[in-house]
A = this chain, B = another copy of it.
Amino acid sequence: MKRGLLIVLSGPSGVGKSTAVAEVMKHQPNLQFSVSATTRPMRPGETEGKSYYFMDRSRFETLRDGGELLEWAEYVGNYYGTPAAPVDEALDAGVDILLDIEPVGAMQVKEKRPEAILIFLAAPSFGELERRLTGRGDTPPDKIASRLEKAKWEYTQAPAYDYIVVSDLVERTADRIESIMKAEKCRAERQLDLLKED
């Protein structure tokens, strides 16, 4: 059984991560989306184990302190993180798994699972990212400013990624991500079993 690929997609807020993920998932039946754990309350329409693994703080802290999270962070008073067990189970079963997480989390995953393939989703330009955040119309100006500040820092992390994918047309963005998956499956170190005589 060939191990699945651990793909981490990250990038600044507003760049189009969820749209890209949805498009990729349409074409990749063997790709599993990683479900995060969170301590924030469940919202209407959300499903346990599908939207998130919902849990209280003490359960989250037990997982975290037991090294059972691939990454975690706290946002506005709630914990968010990626439980390692479902990820490792998928990989062992030969299933590719995709994580859509914050850049801070991406670096934690790479540290814990060096085989992770890190993809940074970037706007065609920083100016374009600004236009996208402003254009959504659902974000107050002071939040836009703070997100752009954060994005600047996140962009400084991009050279540590394996790939930088431009988020322009969603079909093209998805095609680039899927090409990376196909190419990574062809990497020599993953193919050496082919070379045995038989």
Binding site for B on A (CB under 8 A): 119-120, 122, 124-127, 152, 155, 158-166, 175-176, 178-180, 182-184, 186-189, 191-192, 194-198
Q: Please state if B176 and A182 are interface contacts (CB–CB under 8 Å).
A: yes
**Distance of A198 from chain B, by nearest CB (Å):** 5
- A163 nearest CB neighbor, chain B only: B186
Q: In whole angstroms, how far apart are the Cα atoms of A198 and B152 in the complex?
A: 12
What B residues does A176 contact at CB under 8 A? 182-183, 186
Chain B residues near A152 (CB-CB < 8 A): 197
**Contact status of A186 and B198, CB under 8 A, knowing A159-B192, A179-B179, A192-B159:** no
Contact of A195 among B158, B165, B184 (CB under 8 A): B158
Q: How far is the CB of A23 from chain B (nearest CB, A)?
A: 16
Residues of B contacting A189 in the complex (Cβ-Cβ under 8 angstroms):
159
CB-CB under 8 A from A164, the residues of chain B are: 186-188, 191-192, 194-195
Across the two chains, which residue of chain B brings its CB closest to A175? B182
* Interface-centre pick from A127, A155, A180 (highest chain B CB count, 10 A): A180
Nearest to A178 among chain B residues (CB) is: B179
Task: Report the minimal beta-carbon distance from A31 to chain B, rounded to whole angstroms.
Answer: 15
For this complex, 21 residue pairs linking A to B, each with C-beta atoms less than 8 Å apart, are A120-B188, A122-B195, A126-B195, A126-B196, A127-B198, A158-B192, A158-B195, A163-B183, A163-B186, A163-B187, A164-B186, A164-B188, A164-B191, A166-B191, A166-B194, A176-B182, A176-B186, A178-B179, A179-B179, A179-B182, A179-B183
